[in-house]
Amino acid sequence: MGQTISVIDPVSRVEGHLSLEITTADGKVEEALVKGTMYRGFENLFAGKQPDDARTICQRVCGVCPTSHGLAAVNAMQHMIPVILPDNAYLLRNLLLGAEFLHSHILHFYHLCVPDYIEMPATSPWGPVYGGDKRLPAAEAEQLFNHAVEAFRQRQKAHTIGAMIGGRMPHSMAIVIGGITGGLNAEQVENIDRLLNDIHSFIETRMVPDLARLETHYPDYYEIGKGTGHFISFGGFWDPKTNKNLFAAGYRDAAGRIMPISSSYVTESTYYSWYQGDFPGNPFGTTTVPDKNKSRGYSWIKAPRYVGQVCEVGPFARLAVSGSVQGLSSVMGRIRARVEEARLLTVQMKTWLAAYKESGPTYVFVGQPSVGCAVGTVEAPRGSLAHYVTVCNGAIDKYQIVTPTCWNCSPKDERGCAGVLEHAAVGTSVEDEAEPIEVMRIVHSLDPCMACSVH
């Protein structure tokens, strides 16, 4: 029988409110309970609103991935009133979402993850951080810290691209059913191209070599924090020129088989969540009724499963589903996948920008659905996002959101199967039980957004 060594509450350097309860036996994590500690109830705000309001309301779920939510909402509506978007709409959506990815991945690497590996100033916004196991020579650590300071400017550049296309950042008003309002003029295209060059060069000359430094000094982290072996991706970044998704869609199981994915096979369990209802169901049939007196409940996050499996989502999952990496995810594997994805996107975004035609339309007016039900999916920076929407008599009847961090940071399900982070932490050796830096590195490798997950 293990002992509870630590309740880390709140866990710092994640978005939102995360609490972690760790039990150890013989210096190893025996059990980890991941808790989303804030109730928000966004899903209940949509009922009775006009379908076109969803794109505005849902973006307020998060200031880090609002574009992803906005696109999931309009994708759902577009399934109810089928519409063929102009090429420019796809290109601008890809650029807007790509800017969100670049901001998010640079933020993650330098400001949420790197402080686990080098000594940081104890002052805000850097500290406090856990000490111990800092392996980089002082000169290399100092360089990494200087790059973390430079990274703020790169995040600003990514947001500037987002604001030029979306009208503002965060929470764009340009994402509409049928496309993107407002195009780019030649000067804006040139500015975005220049910003992309800057970010690309930062990634090539700073982020990629800094990742190599971490890999050199922490190779054991390719063996720590392993996932369940099940991965999903809904597919994303449709390219109207190649007629293909940049990120493949699919489900890869623990035996390495890659299969087509269907949002119909998603269920959510609330057995250990502070919501009414004990049995798992497809999000079209489930509700969000808080029940904070549920005695076995320990999180405001629900537990999504795909064909009953505990699946990981995010950059590593996208590589796994595309067949580009084999085997299990790990702390360093996830960090590497995120850096590679950022580099790929800067290259890809330049091709989408070059394909944009200033004279062409950027959206088609199609109004809004009056009846229907559909799932809008997006690959967000942290992984697979789905909005399950039902519209009746011209108003939203039901709205259920399943975010990436719900997949990665879920509590146990009704069978007692632990979520991805809970699973990844088990078995980890902890050197200093007062400051379990090893577990913190696993948490950060999944880049949790608790604001999204409790929505």
Smallest distance from the beta carbon of 401 to Mg ion, in angstroms? 4
Near ligand NFE by CB under 6 A, which window of 105-113, 116-124, 361-369, 403-411? 403-411
Q: CB nearer to ligand NFE: give 213 or 382.
A: 382
Strand 18-25 vs strand 3-8: parallel, antiparallel, or unpaired?
antiparallel
Q: Which does 401 bind (CB under 5 to 8 A by kind): Mg ion, ligand NFE, none?
A: Mg ion
Q: Are the CB atoms for 99 and 353 separated by under 8 Å?
A: no
From the CB of 379, what's the least distance to ligand NFE, in Å? 9
Minimum distance from CB of 42 to ligand NFE (Å)? 12
Q: Is 449 in the site for Mg ion (CB under 5 A)?
A: no
Q: How many CA atoms lie within 13 A of 423 on its CB side?
A: 24
- Give the binding-site size for Mg ion (rule: CB under 5 A): 1
The one among 71, 401, 446, 450 contacting Mg ion by CB under 5 A: 401
How far is Cα 415 from Cα 151, in angstroms, rounded to an integer? 43
Q: Evaluate whether 277 touches 289 at the Cβ level (below 8 Å).
A: yes
| CB closer to Mg ion out of 19 and 405 | 405
For residue 328 the two structure tokens come to 């299990």
Name residues whose C-beta falls within 8 Å of residue 102's C-beta, 6 or more positions apart in sequence.
154, 158, 161, 199, 342, 345, 346
Task: For residues 405 and 244, give the distance between their C-alpha atoms in angstroms, rounded to a whole number.
Answer: 26
CB of 99 to ligand NFE, least distance (A): 13
Closest by CA to 210, choosing from 145, 158, 149, is 145
Question: Rule CB under 6 A: is residue 69 a binding residue for ligand NFE?
Answer: yes
Q: Which of 199, 192, 243, 200 is nearest to 356 (CA)?
A: 192
Nearer to ligand NFE, 70 or 183 (CB): 70
> Which residue stretch of 132-140, 143-151, 212-220, 379-387 sits at the interface with ligand NFE (rule: CB under 6 A)?
379-387
Question: Residue 6 or 400: which CB sits closer to ligand NFE?
Answer: 400
Q: Which helix (H) or strand (E) holds 317?
A: helix 315-322
Q: Which residue has the tokens 């350097």?
A: 13
Name the residue with tokens 């920076």.
Answer: 381
What is the contact mask toward ligand NFE in residues 246 to 275, using x (rule: CB under 6 A)? ------------------------------
SS3 398: strand
Q: Does the protein bind Mg ion through residue 303 (CB under 5 A)? A: no
Query: Which spans of this chain sit near Mg ion (rule: CB under 5 A)?
Result: 401
Query: Which spans of this chain sit near ligand NFE (rule: CB under 6 A)?
Result: 15, 62, 64-65, 68-69, 380-382, 385, 403-405, 449, 451-453
